[in-house]
């Protein structure tokens, strides 16, 4: 659970932009210290060195199960093998004796609709064969792999039973019964365009059915999270004791022709839904609305500002910044500049805004999704190297300019990133297996291409063995 005190950039430690520098004495690469803190004791010590020494010479391989003796923690260079270079680096880190910093929190979307008509198992083969969301063994393999490649939080795509009776049932049969679930932190991604949409591309709150639907959905999400919290080993991802819910496509709430009236209705409905959720769960939800500026052609309008005051934080499912519409654009460090500009513009727009229920400043959760391949849109191509360079550039930017204090002394950014989807291929930013991701030009690492790029920057999931507590 995240606390209530502020956390400055210094507490987060060395910027990953420094990764690649070498000590004059040994030439060893100096990664962020948290990558080498294998035992999570807050320092680089003898235990970490012994763990790495025992793993030298081991290799991962491209199978779901790594080769015998391979320790995913020790492979902090994500080379799929552990060698003397890692040992040199960990010794150099010990000699530096600097604070190791804390791993940022990475949130990936996790979907439960495979095996249904919408996503038949035959269309979603992965390294172990067809993927069914209701299979706890497959979900258990995903749990282990997400820990290995540094995914900290699963945001489960949540769809009400009235729309898709299979979705939540699949989670209960699969995800909530999967091996290693106790190593995972869980929250929800509320699919508002699916739960509330009528196919028009907007969600109008004028109909009473829409208003009642949202309230019922909040009731049922609260009950789902209670079940996960109390009847499974899963740990609920909370901020300030409040369970996190990302609201997909909240930026389409309200019909443009009736916007002033509908914005008032949205305020009223969120107030009721929030209170009902709190009565069931024991605390109100921590709502993160999708209201960030989406592209260079987008703007933070009056409707965004009004809706955003109902939320505690803001995110975006995916940025698409001025891509080449004919040939597409390649994800990398250069592309990160456009994403940083959108983040900067969003931060400037929300500076005067506060949550209308708590009075707290709105927080921003940067999107670090890998690639983009939505049908009919320009493609954002990705490679392992390009993804790694993009992640490093974004992480460095956020640490240096975003995680500091705002003018009123509060943090505008959390050290929490959304990194796209783990197991959904349709829009081209799936991390695993890479064959799901339609924005990847070619497979070179047996399905681990993008997972390895992610691990190079964020390491293994240190939160598998400890609670998420960043000091807020």
If one compares 443 and 428, the residue with the highest pLDDT of the two is: 443
DSSP string, 39-87: T-SSS--HHHHHHHHHHTT-B--SSSSPPTT--TTT-TT-SSB--HHHH
What is the residue-averaged pLDDT of the chain? 87
For residue 96, give Cα distances in angstroms to 5, 22, 82, 85, 399.
28, 12, 22, 17, 21
* Predicted confidence (pLDDT) per residue in 360-408, tens digit: 999 999 999 888 887 777 788 899 999 999 999 999 998 887 654 444 4
Residues 47 and 45: their CA atoms lie apart, in Å, by 5
Report CA dihedral (182, 247, 417, 178) to the nearest 10 degrees: 20
**pTM across the whole model:** 0.92
* Mean pLDDT of the 4-31 span: 48
> What pLDDT was estimated at residue 423?
86
Residue 465 has pLDDT above 80, yes or no: yes
Residue 139 has pLDDT above 70, yes or no: yes
Of 3.40.50.2000, 3.40.1000.10, 3.40.50.720, 3.20.20.80, the CATH number of 105-465 is 3.20.20.80
Residues 278 and 116: their CA atoms lie apart, in Å, by 32
* Predicted confidence (pLDDT) per residue in 198-226, tens digit: 888 999 999 999 999 999 999 999 999 99
Residues 249 and 147: their CA atoms lie apart, in Å, by 28
Domain boundaries along the sequence of the chain: 9-96, 105-465
* Mean pLDDT of the 423-450 span: 84
């Amino acid at each position: 659970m995240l606390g209530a005190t502020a956390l400055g950039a210094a507490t987060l430690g060395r910027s990953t932009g420094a990764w690649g520098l070498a000590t004059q004495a040994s030439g060893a690469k100096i990664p962020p210290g948290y990558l080498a803190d294998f035992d999570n004791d807050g320092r680089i010590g003898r235990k970490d060195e012994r763990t790495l020494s025992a793993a030298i010479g081991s290799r991962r391989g491209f199978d779901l199960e790594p080769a015998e003796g391979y320790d995913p923690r020790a492979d902090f260079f994500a080379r799929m093998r552990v060698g003397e270079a890692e040992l040199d680096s960990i010794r150099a880190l010990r000699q530096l004796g600097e604070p190791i910093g804390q791993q940022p929190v990475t949130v990936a979307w996790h979907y439960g609709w495979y095996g249904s008509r919408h996503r038949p198992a035959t269309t979603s083969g992965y390294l172990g064969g067809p993927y069914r969301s209701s299979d706890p063994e497959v979900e258990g393999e995903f749990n282990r792999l997400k820990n290995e490649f540094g995914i900290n939080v699963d945001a489960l795509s949540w769809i009400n039973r009235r729309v898709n009776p299979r979705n939540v049932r699949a989670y209960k049969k699969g995800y909530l019964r999967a091996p290693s679930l106790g190593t995972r932190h869980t929250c929800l991604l509320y699919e508002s365009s699916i739960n509330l949409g009528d196919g028009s591309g907007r969600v109008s709150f004028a109909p009473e059915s829409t208003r009642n639907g949202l309230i019922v959905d909040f009731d049922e999400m609260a009950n789902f999270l209670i079940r996960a919290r109390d009847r499974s080993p899963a740990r609920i991802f909370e901020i300030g004791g409040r369970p996190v819910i990302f609201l997909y496509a909240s930026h389409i709430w309200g019909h443009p022709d009736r916007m002033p009236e509908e914005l008032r209705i949205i305020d009223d409905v969120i107030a009721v839904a929030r209170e009902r959720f709190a009565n069931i769960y024991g605390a109100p939800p921590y709502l993160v609305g999708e209201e960030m500026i989406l592209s260079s052609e987008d703007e933070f309008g009056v409707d965004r500002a009004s809706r955003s005051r109902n939320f505690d934080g803001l995110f975006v499912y995916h940025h698409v910044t001025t891509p080449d519409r004919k040939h597409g654009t390649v994800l990398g460090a250069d592309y990160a500049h456009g994403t940083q500009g959108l983040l900067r513009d969003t931060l400037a727009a929300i500076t005067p805004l506060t949550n209308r229920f708590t009075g707290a400043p709105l927080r921003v959760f940067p999107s670090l999704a890998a690639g983009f391949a939505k049908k009919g849109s320009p493609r954002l191509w990705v490679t392992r190297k390009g993804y790694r360079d993009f992640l490093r550039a974004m992480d460095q930017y956020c640490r240096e300019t975003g995680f500091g204090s705002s003018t009123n002394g509060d943090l505008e950014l959390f050290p929490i990133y959304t990194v796209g989807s783990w197991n959904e291929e349709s829009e081209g930013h799936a991390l695993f297996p890479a064959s799901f991701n339609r924005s990847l030009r070619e497979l070179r690492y047996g399905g681990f291409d993008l997972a390895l790029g992610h691990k190079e920057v964020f390491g293994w999931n240190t939160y598998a063995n400890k609670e998420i507590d960043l000091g807020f």
